[in-house]
Amino acid sequence: MEYRLLIAVITGVCLLLFLILKLRMQAFIALLIVCIQVGIMVGLPVDEILNSIKNGMGSTLGFVATVVGLGALFGGLLEHSGGAQGLANYILKIAGEKNASWALMITGFIIAIPVFFDVAFIILVPIVYAIARKTKKSLLLYAIPLLAGLAITHSFIPPTPGPVAVADIIGANLGWVIILGFACGIPAAIISGPVFAKYISQKIQLSLPDKNVVKAIEQDNYPNPIIIIVIIALPILLIVLKTVLLGDWFDQNMLPQSIIYTISLLGHPFTALIIANVIAWYVLGIQRGTSKDDLLKLSMKSFQPAGAIILLTGAGGAFKQILVDTKAGELLASSIESSNINPLLFAFILAALVRVLQGSATTAMIAAAGITAPIIAKGDFSTIQTALFVISIASGATILSHVNDSGFWLVGQYLGLTEKQTFRSWTVMTTLIACTGVLVSLILWMIF
């Protein structure tokens, strides 16, 4: 029976990669096909297979769809108002020209919390052009730190879709994922951002883009950057506050029940993001003269990129449920326990393999989370260790971005890089993020 389970899982992973890589099938339907295939090979009755898919989809989407939807709406308001550009200009003004690389890293780190990676990059890249034109230095000195900040937050720190989906699939506490995401993300941002940018900008000198591109940022009607920072930070602070005050390391008996009730309500991701959205709706929309009809249209447009991520996450939840119901997850857990490999490292390698083979970081995170979830459920891992699995999976899913990743071409196109130059800069940067992230995760794993 064990061999049958193992063969079913291996065949399933191979089929998943074949459908995505060879047949170019959308990952959502590919994952559902693999769920059915694994169930059939293990010998589950038809009703059980389909119920596992339904239950896995339902239990995952109940949380993820709400958080990703609210996050997408928040990001759409920020993008529409010009808040991202205004915040970037503000940070650059404070930091000064000399520290522009660090300022852009911080900008990317903050902006990617509510805004999708590709959208945030397209919005902010004219600022990189303008600084490079002014300083006469290589574009990469400023572009790489911005990209590092964007990529790290996109993969490591909720409420961005990737870590939210992985946290839900493996059952990690979102507050701890945020805390550890910052703990692992900051060193990764420094190494892959300003430090690497200083080196690679001396090796690759890029010509500046046409002047017309720079005109996009020459505006004065931006929202107050302090307000933008407060709105972005508010949901994160509320979620972390709940984790700290109502977690294992704080005596809740010291707090009155009314305070505990309020913190539990306001610190839940649903409530925290609703509050941020309502504030953004008024401050970045109504107060700035945007009509209610335009805000409604903007809201509908904001949901479009979230749809694919939500469905893909649901399919990942279904895959996890199939592994649980077929007991294949228990077999994987036993295999990991009997081997010498660190389970955190196993999750990293799994995500990295899928990432390198098929390109999409989100698909790699979802697939790795689905396979790893039963191992975590069977193992005796602490709350912090479970959250570290999210960071490890995110690190693996970030590594070695190359020609099968849309981000590789997006960056190359906007920065005017050749394929070779994109490999030497962007691909190396993503690998530095991945290696630093998993290394810090392993250190924290040993501590906690």
The answer to whether 239 and 272 are in contact (CB under 8 A) is yes
In this prediction, residue 156 has a pLDDT band, given cuts at 50, 70 and 90, of very high
- Token pair of 378, please? 């069977």
Q: What is the predicted pLDDT for the residue at 116? A: 81
Show the CA angle centred on residue 256, arms to residues 251 and 261, nearest 5°.
Answer: 95
Q: Answer whether the bond into residue 209 is a cis peptide, omega within 30°.
A: no
How far apart, in whole angstroms, are the C-alpha atoms of residue 339 and residue 336?
A: 5
* Of residues 211 and 49, more confidently modeled: 49
Mean pLDDT of 334-352: 82
Q: What is the predicted pLDDT for the residue at 128? A: 87
Q: What is the predicted pLDDT for the residue at 216? A: 46
Lowest mean pLDDT among 22-26, 274-278, 408-412: 22-26
The answer to whether 149 and 106 are in contact (CB under 8 A) is yes
Per-residue pLDDT of 30-68, as tens digits, reads 889 999 999 999 888 999 999 999 998 888 788 888 888
Q: What is the predicted pLDDT for the residue at 249? A: 62
Q: How many domains is the chain built from?
A: 1
Q: 137 in helix, strand or coil?
A: coil
Mean pLDDT of 135-143: 90
Q: What is the predicted pLDDT for the residue at 1? A: 56
Answer yes or no: is pLDDT of 215 > 50.
no
Q: What are the backbone dihedrals phi and psi of residue 347, each rounded to the nearest 5 degrees, phi first?
A: -65, -40
Q: What is the predicted pLDDT for the residue at 410? A: 87
Mean pLDDT of 140-155: 95
Mean pLDDT of 222-247: 87
* Of residues 9 and 35, more confidently modeled: 35
Answer yes or no: is pLDDT of 2 > 90.
no
Answer yes or no: is pLDDT of 242 > 90.
no
Q: What is the predicted pLDDT for the residue at 101? A: 94
Q: What are the backbone dihedrals phi and psi of residue 82, each rounded to the nearest 5 degrees, phi first?
A: 80, 15
Q: What is the predicted pLDDT for the residue at 22? A: 81
Answer yes or no: is pLDDT of 120 > 50.
yes
Q: What is the predicted pLDDT for the residue at 210? A: 55
Q: What is the predicted pLDDT for the residue at 143? A: 95
In this prediction, residue 186 has a pLDDT band, given cuts at 50, 70 and 90, of very high
Mean pLDDT of 178-204: 95
Is residue 31 exposed (0-12), middle (13-18) or buried (19+ Cβ within 10 Å)? buried
Q: 448 in helix, strand or coil?
A: coil
- Token pair of 311, please? 């469905």
DSSP structural state of residue 195: I
DSSP code per residue over 313-377 = HHHHHHHHHHHHHTTHHHHHHHHHHHSSS-HHHHHHHHHHHHHHHH--HHHHHHHHHHHHHHHHH
Provide the residue type at 40 as one letter: I
Dump strand ranges (E) for 19-80. none
The answer to whether 38 and 326 are in contact (CB under 8 A) is yes
Per-residue pLDDT of 66-100, as tens digits, reads 888 888 888 888 878 888 788 888 888 888 878 99
The answer to whether 345 and 366 are in contact (CB under 8 A) is no
Highest mean pLDDT among 113-117, 186-190, 277-281: 186-190
Average pLDDT, the chain: 86
Q: What is the predicted pLDDT for the residue at 222? A: 81
Mean pLDDT of 113-132: 85
Q: What domain range includes position 226?
A: 2-447
Is residue 297 exposed (0-12), middle (13-18) or buried (19+ Cβ within 10 Å)? exposed
Q: What is the predicted pLDDT for the residue at 217? A: 45
Answer yes or no: is pLDDT of 301 > 70.
yes
Highest mean pLDDT among 39-48, 174-183, 285-294, 413-422: 174-183
Show the CA angle centred on residue 244, arms to residues 238 and 250, nearest 5°.
Answer: 140
Q: What is the predicted pLDDT for the residue at 213? A: 47
Mean pLDDT of 262-289: 90
Closest CA to 287 of 230, 227, 232: 227
Buried b (16+ CB within 10 A) or exposed e, 381-397: bebbbbbbbbbbbbbbb
How far apart, in whole angstroms, are the C-alpha atoms of residue 335 and residue 323?
A: 14
In this prediction, residue 211 has a pLDDT band, given cuts at 50, 70 and 90, of very low
DSSP structural state of residue 416: T
How far apart, in whole angstroms, are the C-alpha atoms of residue 158 and residue 137?
A: 34
In this prediction, residue 119 has a pLDDT band, given cuts at 50, 70 and 90, of confident
